[in-house]
A and B are shown apart, each in its own frame.
Chain A
Amino acid sequence: MESKVISKQDIAPWLKGLAEKYDVIAPVTEDGVTRFKPVDDPSAIDLGPTPAKSGIREHFTPETETLFDYKLEGLSAEVTPPEGIKKDRLIFGARACDAAALRYVDAVYSNVEPVDTPYFDRREHTAIVGLFCNKPSWTCFCTEVGDFMMNPINMDVYLTDLGEKYYAEALTPKGEELLGSSQFQPATGADKQAVEAHRESVQAKLPKPVDHAKASESYDWDDPIWQKLAEVCLGCGACSFLCPTCHCFDIMECAKGKKGSRFRCWDTCQFDKFTLMGHGHNPRPSRVERTRQRVFHKFKYSPERYGMLGCVGCGRCVAVCPVNIDIRKVIQEIESEDKVSA
């Protein structure tokens, strides 16, 4: 598909022009935290931090989401599901890791029956304009787990910052339509060369690919590392709540007298009650099982079931862990040579 360029100062007018058709969602920094939020004023957009604190996840699987409202009268009940997305959304500035993560969530939520309709609705009504990472963070390792930084997936448009302007590639018909705006000019051969050289120079600084799916075949269930991690891990959910592929949830009731709603909210295998059953049995009773579950689910079970890793290397879990549990080091340790041969 065709590629174009847009001067940086034209981004704001372009996004303003899109506002009629789309609710624009972009990274905004407030009180030191950068998150993707609906923006009215494009000048508030902050593309600086790589990646943003919380990715685009919450715009597909919100932290708290009403599944339906109910009303009770006498013995009977009435149930009303919420309305779907009314206006299309455009996510601006998503990183390749976050967009790639949607492939995984799609595999769980919408590519198998029954389809998670609220999620599917959001996916269908969202255009994604991604942004190449010029300055990967110290926690970034996307190149180790996939090549989507160079060959993005789930984006309609991929932007690369070339200083004064962005190089813009349309990756879908929807993307072509977006690049049809007057602010875009055709890219030249020189632009294309510049982009390729630039991307390769960034990629060179990042880790080399590792076939974790293959390596996971010999992961040791009783590896002593689980015991070690379990002692240090505080059992909070920061790693999974900021993870773009984590998608587990709890379903709860918010009852206010005769009215109320059923909602779902983020949940994590790191919490002790995640698997606790009503009569008291807990199949994963300690942090030993729970820390293993997080790693195994992402690096072993997911390739087995969905044919892809459950990790996109965004590094958020590394950045937020209060006790510096670094998943890169964990994986390295359980995949280390001497361990495999032992």
Chain B
Amino acid sequence: MEKELRDKARELLESGQVGTVIGYEAGSAPFKCAPLYARTPEEAERLVWNPTCVNNLAVYLPQAVKQGPVAVVVKPCDAKSVVELLKENQVERDDVKTIVVPCPGVLNLDALADVDLSDVRSVEWTDDGIKVTTGSGEVSIPKEKAFLPKCLSCALGDPEIADIKLGEQPVRTPVVDSKMSVEEYEKLSPLERREFWAKHFAKCIRCYACRQACPGCYCKECFADKLGQMWVTRSTDPTTNWFFHMTRAMHLAGRCIGCGECERACPMGIPLSLLGKKLEMEVEDMFETRPGEDAEALPVLGSWKAEDPDPCPEE
């Protein structure tokens, strides 16, 4: 698979179809990958595709296309971000070539909690999860534990915007209903919910890793940085943090494709995906659209229908 990926990347670069291939290279540890901008055939040789390739590389597109057409390695879920960027005119279709990789699911680092990370030699896919090789042997981890939660509920096939497909998508049968976490949360009373977020937002240090890792957060100037307007100060008290995260959630309403990068990037373990998942569910329920599917569709909150649900319908 990696050979194919590298060949394809080299071909794209050599033929001049793109100036850059954004993909993954081996990270600083066997359970880590790092994003790579490959611009030469030699650099393309460094591309990898393995269970550590968790990042949603679409986040780089709005900047990268400024230097001309780029190719980007995407998982089917990441491709939804590309669709959103196209829909919102952040990138032109002609400037992006998507290289879709067949994805069995990617690594949840939490799965390695019991493994001595300093001793890990490699992380590979198996038929049913991953195999971790350490200095003292091999550990097999079943996919229920090995993969990110989003992978366990994923049933995506190849996206429509796939320009290059590196093999067939494995048939994925979701082992978890993605709505489950939301439904689980919604068993809480209003007070418990407020306490839940008070607890989590108290941890937030406002490093903005969530925002920076989000392909949807491409604003030139975030509301949180607008000092003149002062919607939100940088104080890290739970209420101010609530305001920041709630506003960010609303700004992503109908646009969040649930890649979970915000939550992965968060150094403080705030379950930010819950907000995105809820928005996704509500948008589908009320407006019958799913973000990330149709690049021609109008943005959910930038459009309307006369028959939209009404808070106080006329008799």
Which residues on A are within 8 Å of B, measured CB to CB? 30-33, 35, 53-54, 63-64, 136-138, 205, 228, 231-232, 234-238, 240-242, 250, 252-254, 263, 265-268, 271, 273, 318, 320, 322-326, 328-329
Contact = CB atoms under 8 A, between A and B. Distances in A.
Interface string B257-292: 000010011011100000000000000000000000
Interface of B: 27-29, 32-37, 55, 59-60, 63-64, 110, 117-118, 120, 199-200, 203, 205-209, 211-213, 225, 227, 233-237, 261, 264-265, 267-269
A323 B236 contact: no
Contacts of B35: 232, 323-324
Given A137-B118, A234-B212, A273-B225, A254 B267 contact: no
B19 to A, nearest CB: 13
A238 B234 contact: no
| Pairs A-B, 4 closest by C-beta atoms | A326-B28, A322-B265, A236-B212, A236-B209
Given A31-B199, A231-B60, A322 B268 contact: no
Given A63-B236, A236-B208, A324-B27, A138 B269 contact: no
A283 B79 CA distance: 36
A114 B123 CA distance: 52
21 contacts: A30-B199, A64-B234, A64-B237, A136-B118, A231-B63, A231-B64, A232-B34, A236-B213, A237-B208, A237-B209, A238-B207, A238-B265, A238-B267, A240-B207, A252-B233, A254-B235, A265-B234, A323-B35, A324-B32, A324-B33, A326-B28
Contact of A252 (B28, B63, B213, B234): B234
B29 A138 contact: yes
B34 A241 contact: no
Nearest to A255: B230
Contacts of A324: 27-28, 32-35
Given A32-B269, A324-B33, A329 B28 contact: yes
A40 B36 CA distance: 47
Nearest to A241: B207
Contacts of A31: 199-200, 203, 269
Contacts, number: 116
Contacts of A328: 28
Contact of A250 (B37, B207, B234, B264): B234
Contacts of A54: 205, 267-268
Contacts of A33: 203, 268-269
Nearest to A140: B118
Contacts of B227: 273
Contacts of A320: 209, 267
A32 B268 CA distance: 9
B192 to A, nearest CB: 15
A138 B118 contact: yes
Given A32-B269, A138-B117, A322-B55, A237 B235 contact: no
B209 to A, nearest CB: 4
Contacts of A235: 212
B265 A236 contact: yes
Nearest to B35: A232
Contacts of B37: 228, 231-232
A322 B203 contact: no
A325 B29 CA distance: 11
Nearest to B267: A320
A236 B234 contact: no
Nearest to A325: B34
Nearest to A328: B28
A54 B234 CA distance: 19
B34 A323 contact: yes
Contact of A322 (B60, B209, B225): B209
A190 to B, nearest CB: 29
Contact of A323 (B55, B205, B211, B234): B55
Interface centre among A238, A250, A271, A328 (most CB of B within 10 A): A238
B22 to A, nearest CB: 9
Contact of B233 (A63, A228, A254): A254
A63 B205 contact: yes
B212 to A, nearest CB: 4
A163 B110 CA distance: 27
A99 B216 CA distance: 39
A322 B211 contact: no
Contacts of B36: 232
B209 A137 contact: no
Highest count of chain B CB atoms <10 Å: which of A137, A236, A271: A236
A91 to B, nearest CB: 19
A157 to B, nearest CB: 28
Which one of B117, B207, B265 has the greatest number of beta carbons of chain A within 10 Å?
Answer: B207
Contacts of B120: 138
Contacts of A32: 110, 269
A12 B249 CA distance: 43
A35 B227 CA distance: 30
Contacts of A64: 234-237
A241 B206 CA distance: 9
